[in-house]
Amino acid sequence: MSLKRQLLLASLLMLIIPWAGLQFVLELDQALRDRAEEQLRGQARRMADVTTAELRDQPPLGPEDPAVFMHQADQQIHLDGYGDDWPGFHNGDQPWQRLADQPDIRWQAAIGERHSYLLIHVSHPDPAYMDPAAPEKPHEFLRLRWRTSPHDNPLVTERILSTPTQGQVVGRFPYSLSRRDHRVVGQWLAVSGGYQVELRLPRLAPGDLLGFEVVWPDSEHNGTYLSTGTAMDPLPLVTGRVAGLEARLSTLMFPGQRVFVSEPSGSLVALSKVPAPDQRRRFEQLSTVEILEQATLTGLRALVRLYQPEPRLFNDARPHTLPPGSAGLVQQDGHVYLLAAAVTEDGRQLALMQSLDEILALAGSTLGSVIARSVLLIIGVMLVMLGYASWLSWRITRLQRAVNATVDPDGRISGSIPPSRMSDELGELNRQFGHMVDRLQGYTAYLESFSRRLSHELKTPVAVIRSSLDNLEHAATPPEQASYRDRARQATDRLSQILQGMSEAARLEQSFDQADLEPFDLAQVVAEATAAYQTLDPGHRIRHQGPTADCQVHGSPELMVQMLDKLVDNARDFTPAGGLILVTVERRNDRLQLSVFNEGSSLPRGLAGEIFNPFISVRDGSGEGHLGQGLLIVRLIADHHDGQVMASNHVQDGTAGVRFEVSLPAL
């Protein structure tokens, strides 16, 4: 079994911990909900007693009692006849009132700070409007009747509203239609299938009386009228939410609770809410751990509710449909509540609701937080273990593939292993394999090209020596013999130089093992060496550019000077008399760039990367005296310092030439 599967099985065993915690939370939640139901019933009974005391002067309204319910206007109502600024319009739940035996008429009533409002919709096509030239002619009109303070003022106020066409209407006295009462004004608007009237009345409070009827001519019996509307004798009772009762109930409630009180007829008397304090912080204020914890708590709440009974939908417009003394879970506005119902002594219904979020908080946000943190920890450990196993497996597989890819079927090194930046054992193993492959590849390439290059370099002096010896046998005069001997001697010197250059490169590679590497200031070493070059070679302009200090590298100052000697010597060979040789040191991010620019001819195309190999030279002529070993030494020293060396054609301040650049890691 693989390491990844073993770690997966071991990690899955830790899931027993959150499962046991979830079972404990479910048991605790059930116990606390049972306790909360009992407390909620007692609180509902106490609120029912308070409701009875507050409404002792207001008799309950039965299902058969005529009534007009006044909604609370949450904004100022503009009299335009449309009703789009009435309560419930924008959420698509406009609370129209209607009578079962009169389907052609429906209405709404609302109460504001200073006035009452009435919106009447009549489904009566082709109404007969008033004729201003013959006002006595039968026409359609509205009759309003109301009475304020029934105990103090037994008189009923009546007003008539009619219009010759749609538009503004004003209340008129019934026995003197020419007199107008501007306390009753509104807008008469023709709509599809009938008309709609929006009126403003004097402010009526719960306990007052209000009735209206729609009157129109009877087309079958000339001179008679038909009517429909609310009861006119007795007048319907004005009912609505009682602000004093709502304020009194609010003092008895806890955060996260709602209470509804309704008449036996179903109309709402009081609605109070005490929102839970919002202790949540904004998303951008949460840390990563807190975000994960909140997400886990949300999931925990979802699991708890999954094991709870299915809640019933609660309609706050008809809370009287709940059985007296009932309790259970209800759902409203997408939230789940625990509900307890009670009945007052005079028959009114009271429904008290408690947010389950608060109960879950009582069930232990601390416990939930502990479970959430443990789940996060376990999931995190599992992911880390699986990820770590996958990472190790991937690294081993990648190293295995890289090693296999570096060797072709014939056993020759055909590629390199990508370097690893990891400092662990696998990273070190990767680097060791990489170094080994690089050394093998370099050595293989060296062996493959050495014989060819050495043969090429030795061919000319050997041929010169052979031809000189052959000609020497046939030379008749001493000058001819001396000439052939000189040519043989020069070829022998060439062979000696080749062997000496090869020995120098070999000794340099051997000296790397004994070289002491230490931190030193590259800029200071380069500046001092450049000044010495100018003193020794006044025939060229050798200049230094860049800082003279604070460029620390780790390596050997002696080897660095030797590398710079080779670069400057190479530059002098190609720079005309009085030409510029510019030595530069600059910092680029975390590396130092040492460059030597020389004025003169450019590099041949395609040879920039080959001149650092042995026996490569681009000098004019046969290249006698130049073995191409100097730039090889430059490359060897740069590689020893984990650097890179490159050559390119370059233009410096308008002057064309060649630039050699060595990139070294900075401290």
pLDDT 10s digits, 621-638: 444 434 456 787 888 888
Q: What tens digit of pLDDT does each residue of 197-244 get?
A: 999 999 998 888 999 999 988 877 777 778 888 878 888 888 888 888
Name the CA radius of gyration of the chain, rounded: 52
Q: Could you write out the three-class secondary structure of 368-385?
A: HHHHHHHHHHHHHHHHHH
Asked whether residue 476 carries a pLDDT value surpassing 80, the answer given is no
| Residue 511, CA distances (Å) to 256, 488, 612 in order | 83, 34, 19
Question: What is the four-CA torsion angle of 343, 345, 346, 347, rounded to 10 degrees?
Answer: 20
Residue 501: the pLDDT is 64
According to the CATH classification, is domain 518-665 in 3.30.565.10? yes
- How far apart, in whole angstroms, are the C-alpha atoms of residue 84 and residue 629? 95
Proportion of the chain above pLDDT 70, given as a percent: 78
Q: What is the largest CA-CA distance in the chain?
A: 165
Residue 438 DSSP code: H
- How far apart, in whole angstroms, are the C-alpha atoms of residue 364 and residue 357? 11
550-580 burial, b at 16+ Cβ within 10 Å, e below that, comes to ebebebbbebbbebbbbbbebbbebbeeebb
322-353 burial, b at 16+ Cβ within 10 Å, e below that, comes to beeeebbbbebeeebbbbbbbbbeeebbbbbb
- How far apart, in whole angstroms, are the C-alpha atoms of residue 196 and residue 66? 22
For the sheet with 257-262, list strands across it.
Answer: 268-274, 257-262, 349-355, 335-343, 327-332, 312-313
**CA-based nearest residue to 338, from 316, 319, 314, 363:** 314
**CA-based nearest residue to 322, from 283, 348, 288:** 348
Q: Which residues are within 8 A (CB) of 446 and not within 5 positions of it... i.e. 6 or more apart? A: none
Q: Is the Cα dihedral 565, 567, 570, 575 positive or negative?
A: negative
**Which numeric CATH code is attached to 425-511?**
1.10.287.130
Q: Name the residue with higher pLDDT: 442 or 635.
A: 635
Q: Pull the structure tokens for residue 556.
A: 């050997």
Task: For residue 12, count CB atoms less than 10 angstroms from its CB and return exposed for 0-12, middle for 13-18, buried for 19 or more.
Answer: exposed
The pTM assigned to this predicted structure is 0.46
Whether 67-240 and 518-665 share one fold: the answer is no
Split at pLDDT 50, 70, 90, the class of 420 is confident
- Domain map of the chain by residue range? 3-58+243-369, 67-240, 425-511, 518-665
Q: What tens digit of pLDDT does each residue of 575-619 get?
A: 888 899 999 999 988 899 999 999 988 887 766 656 776 656 555
H or E segment to which residue 332 belongs = strand 327-332
CB 660 within 8 A of CB 594: no
Measured in degrees and rounded to the nearest 5, phi and psi for residue 107 equal -150, 165
According to the CATH classification, is domain 3-58+243-369 in 3.30.450.20? yes
Residue type for position 248: R
At 643, is the secondary structure helix, strand, or coil? coil
Residue 479: the pLDDT is 82
158 phi-psi bin (left φ>0, alpha ψ -120 to 50, beta other): beta
CB 337 within 8 A of CB 354: yes
Span 7-30, average pLDDT: 70
Residue 320: the pLDDT is 46
| Residue 580, CA distances (Å) to 170, 522, 524, 539, 585 in order | 106, 22, 21, 10, 16
**CA-based nearest residue to 180, from 188, 171, 189:** 171
CB 16 within 8 A of CB 384: no
Residue 583: the pLDDT is 93
Q: Could you write out the three-class secondary structure of 589-622?
A: CCEEEEEEEEECCCCCCCCCCCCCCCCCCCCCCC
DSSP states of 145-180: EEES-TTT--PPEEEEE--SSSEEEEEEETTEEEEE
- How far apart, in whole angstroms, are the C-alpha atoms of residue 27 and residue 527? 81
For residue 100, the number of C-alpha atoms closer than 13 Å in the C-beta half-sphere is 3
- How far apart, in whole angstroms, are the C-alpha atoms of residue 212 and residue 205? 17
Weakest mean pLDDT among 272-281, 305-314, 525-534, 589-598: 305-314
Residue 606: the pLDDT is 60
Span 415-427, average pLDDT: 78
CB 123 within 8 A of CB 104: yes
Q: Pull the structure tokens for residue 140.
A: 């359609």
Q: Pull the structure tokens for residue 158.
A: 């009546």
Residue 96: the pLDDT is 84
Question: What is the four-CA torsion angle of 373, 374, 378, 379, rounded to 10 degrees?
Answer: -40
Proportion of the chain above pLDDT 90, given as a percent: 14
At 259, is the secondary structure helix, strand, or coil? strand
Q: What tens digit of pLDDT does each residue of 82-133 get?
A: 888 888 776 666 778 887 777 788 999 999 888 999 999 999 888 888 988 8
Residue 624: the pLDDT is 43
Q: Which CATH architecture has domain 67-240?
A: Sandwich (2.60)
CB 594 within 8 A of CB 561: no
Q: Which residues are within 8 A (CB) of 212 and not within 5 positions of it... i.e. 6 or more apart? A: 107, 118, 120, 142, 143, 144, 145, 229, 230
Question: What is the four-CA torsion angle of 550, 551, 556, 562, rounded to 10 degrees?
Answer: -110
At 343, is the secondary structure helix, strand, or coil? strand
